[in-house]
Amino acid sequence: MVHVIKTTLAAVALSMLAVTPHASAKVMAKVNGAEITDDDVKTAMQDLGPTLPQQLKGPARDTYVLDYLIDLKLAAAQGAKNGAADTADFARQMAYYRDKTLMESVLTSVAKAAATEDAEKTVYETVAKQQKPETEVHARHILVPTEAEAKAALARVKGGEDFAKVAGEVSKDPGSQGGDLGWFTKDKMVPEFAEAAFKLDKDQISEPVKSEFGWHVIQVLDKREKAFPPFETVKDQVARYVVQKAQSDAIVKLREAAKIERMDQPAAPAAGTASPAPSADTPADATPKP
């Protein structure tokens, strides 16, 4: 089966590298004597990533990638015959992808060293201690277009009818069952609604409240201090943060130890040199950026 090759510079460059197969690698195919191993399939799988057809799973996905690698080997060999590997542009691109691969190896090593449970728990505990107490309420409401309708709904509730029943019959909020909004903090609602809801005590019902959505009658079912999520529920998020911060710190450290010259930016003025006076078109507080 011949695939339409979505050749990328990275794939072509990698295909031209002389790579010694891992001792335990399984040979999946040979193209004019050149071996393609299961390690090569894994590498291509990672490189192609989200560009792979989503409907392909399991063995079908592996077969697709192997066919891609066969086509890649053939096209790369033809490119070498055509002299593409002898050009300065090819050498430049090879240097780029070599640097990119080496950078990724460094960042992978940093990630492996950083991603410990102790580091994750330290970050979690630090953030948890900094979390300010925040009240949240469990409320339900009846939403209607006019004040008159809101007053009529309120009268029914005060007269003894079940709030959820009235909400189910007259409320125009399709997103709440029986008017139930669940638990929320003050910042999650429009200001007028939030102000009214958070002033109520448990089981209290508000007078009609107007917001941009219409008129509300609100009942607070309960109040509590918002609990910080348990470690296990945010572990993946914390782990990503730990890894990203460690990688960022590693790059900053490399920059600090290096001599970097930027030719795309004007040099900073020497010490004691006056900055140029602003022109008529320049704000008085504008200063030259390095």
Q: pLDDT tens digits, residue range 206-242?
A: 999 999 999 999 999 999 998 889 999 999 999 999 9
222 and 137 Cβ atoms separated by less than 8 Å: yes
**Which tens digit of pLDDT belongs to each residue from 85-113?**
999 999 999 999 999 999 999 999 999 99
Q: Are 148 and 79 found together in one domain? A: no
**Which tens digit of pLDDT belongs to each residue from 177-210?**
999 999 999 999 999 999 999 999 999 999 999 9
Would the pLDDT of 271 be above 90? no
Give the chain's domain count.
Answer: 2
Last residue of a domain, one of 225, 251, 281: 225
Q: Are 145 and 82 found together in one domain? A: no
Q: Are 153 and 75 found together in one domain? A: no
Reported confidence tier of residue 267, pLDDT bands at 50, 70, 90? low
Q: Are 141 and 60 found together in one domain? A: no
Q: Are 158 and 83 found together in one domain? A: no
In a domain, 231, yes or no: no
In a domain, 266, yes or no: no
Q: What is the pLDDT of residue 265?
A: 77
Would the pLDDT of 288 be above 70? no
In a domain, 235, yes or no: no
Q: Is the pTM above the cut of 0.75?
A: no
Report the distance separating Cα 136 and Cα 181, nearest Å.
Answer: 12
In a domain, 163, yes or no: yes
Range of the domain at 65: 9-100
Last residue of a domain, one of 209, 225, 241: 225
**Mean pLDDT score of the chain, rounded to an integer?**
86
- CATH of residue 195's domain is 3.10.50.40
In a domain, 31, yes or no: yes
Percent of the chain at pLDDT above 70? 84
Report the distance separating Cα 214 and Cα 249, nearest Å.
Answer: 50
